[in-house]
Amino acid sequence: MSGGDDRSAFVILVDDEKDVRLSYAQSLDLAGFAVRAFASAEGALDLVGHSFAGVVVSDIRMAGMDGMTLLGRVRAIDPDIPVILVTGHADTPLAVSAMRDGAYDFIEKPCSAQHLADVVVRAMDRRRLVLENRRLRALADGRRDSIEARLQGRVPTMVDLRYRIRALANAAADVLVIGDTGTGKEVVARTLHDVSDRASRPFVVVDCAALPTSLAESELFGHEAGVFPGAARARFGKFEQAHGGTVLLDEIAALPLDLQARLLRVIQDRTVTRIGAHAPVSIDVRFIATSKTEPEADVAAGGLRADLFYRLGVATLRVPPLSQRREDVPLLFLQLVSEAAARLGREEPAVPQTVVADIARRPWPGNLRELRNAAERYVLGLGIAPLTGGESEAAGGARLADRVADYERSLIAGALALSGGSLKSVYEQLGISRKTLYEKMQKYGLDKRDYGFGADDPEDASAADPATAP
């Protein structure tokens, strides 16, 4: 009844009344379910992830985070995880409303052990079916897996970015990608192309900032033979070369305004007229444009035509800088070290916790590009570059308490990244208790799911409830 040998298929039970919690846990255990019981919703959330194969059973009325809030948090992680709410008679209208908001079912107190087990069985079956369908879809379309491989990160902004790429993959809309220098805008564009139905067709990059002024028009639109000196034969421009595929307009605001006007006509009509030609040529092209600044500001400054911006901005993807995804930095660095070692033909070096901690607390204004360079330097045995003057000054100007807290946070983040999926190894390595580790993780906003932890470590699961931690 509990889902066979799947260790992740367990029931998360949340109730702040000890007697009720023990009673429900015993009933479910006797029914054949593995149960992890919590006195608070905060601890239970540590075990919930996109691959969680179980069910959440929670009381509605609880101190701290209540069942309704827990429902919202679980659905934000994965809306297909069944959440069963346990309610008193007076809360029944609230529970019915919660079902409209996505709860799987509700159970009125007092309930029989059999009724509780029956509802959980149905919820488990539904969750198992959802995960199996996801697995089959992934096998049918292996291209989806490549999105996470290319655009790694567990912070919500990265999860949302990957979701939006999947949603836009086969849409007809052109796309505008916005992000700071070095964040990976071209990687986003290439990923969008490679998971679309245009993947087998050309991906043509136009570096708008590097186009030679005298040749820009010919480069983009092509020309007929003999139209100007040196034009011995006709030439396809980049737009025609990309027929059936994708054109990336890198840093669109750097394109001269007169070419922006011609580009707008191409995007609107999906036709190109070569220099010296009398008739346009139809093209089937998707346009993706990138910008390192806010396009509205470029429009206001006169560097970008408003009509071109509105035409390209039908769908917009924003790539977050590393300053907004600090939790991802340790794991990204370790991955980049592995990739650099393979690329350079070197043995992958060990990365001590102190190095990962140093990496985690740096600002990385150059974003992924700078982090990738640091990984290559490390693989080549050159160490990590010292902080720049501005970075050192910024660190030195902070209050001592802030600097100590920042260092402590980076040490814990580094230990999590190197833990191999066991919180026990983290608190033993740091020389602190489980309870202290959880308190500090909560203090610094460190979520173990951001470091690849699953829900199958019994000791970690017991530590999630502060009442059981030493």
CATH topology of domain 11-140: Rossmann fold (3.40.50)
- What values do phi and psi take at 74, rounded to 5? -65, -45
E strand or H helix that includes residue 107: strand 105-108
Reduce the DSSP state of residue 120 to 3 states and report it.
helix
Do residues 282 and 271 make contact, with C-beta atoms less than 8 angstroms apart?
A: yes
Lowest mean pLDDT among 4-13, 27-36, 65-74, 132-141: 132-141
Across-strand partners of 56? 12, 83
Of residues 232 and 78, more confidence is placed in 78
The whole-angstrom separation of Cα 387 and Cα 393 is 9
Retrieve residue 211's tokens: 């186009």
CB within 8 A of 344, min separation 6: which ones? 376, 379, 380
Do residues 168 and 309 make contact, with C-beta atoms less than 8 angstroms apart?
A: no
For 169: left if phi > 0, alpha if psi spans -120 to 50, otherwise beta; the answer is: alpha
451 — pLDDT class (breaks 50, 70, 90)? low
Query: In the chain, what are the domain boundaries?
Result: 11-140, 145-320, 323-468
Retrieve residue 305's tokens: 């035509």
Whether 47 has a pLDDT exceeding 50, the answer reads: yes
- Name residue 80's amino acid: D
- What values do phi and psi take at 261, rounded to 5? -65, -40
Whether 371 has a pLDDT exceeding 90, the answer reads: yes
Could you tell me where the beta strands, DSSP code E, fall in 269-375? 271-272, 281-282, 286-291, 315-319
CATH code for the domain defined by 145-320: 3.40.50.300
134 — pLDDT class (breaks 50, 70, 90)? low
The string of DSSP codes covering 230-242 is T--S-EE-HHHHT
Of residues 403 and 106, more confidence is placed in 106
The whole-angstrom separation of Cα 271 and Cα 250 is 20
pLDDT tens per residue across span 389-440: 455 444 444 566 666 776 777 778 777 777 666 778 788 778 888 888 888 8
The string of DSSP codes covering 315-337 is EEEEEPPGGG-GGGHHHHHHHHH
The whole-angstrom separation of Cα 57 and Cα 83 is 6
Percent of the chain topping pLDDT 70: 84
Whether 275 has a pLDDT exceeding 60, the answer reads: yes
pLDDT tens per residue across span 144-189: 457 888 898 877 888 889 988 988 988 889 999 999 999 999 999 9
For residue 412, how many other CB atoms are within 10 A of its CB?
23
Lowest mean pLDDT among 3-7, 193-197, 210-214: 3-7
pLDDT at 223: 81
> Which DSSP symbol is given to 256?
-
**Mean pLDDT over all residues of the chain?**
82
pTM confidence score: 0.58
pLDDT at 218: 84
- What values do phi and psi take at 291, rounded to 5? -150, 135
Q: Fold match between 11-140 and 145-320? A: yes
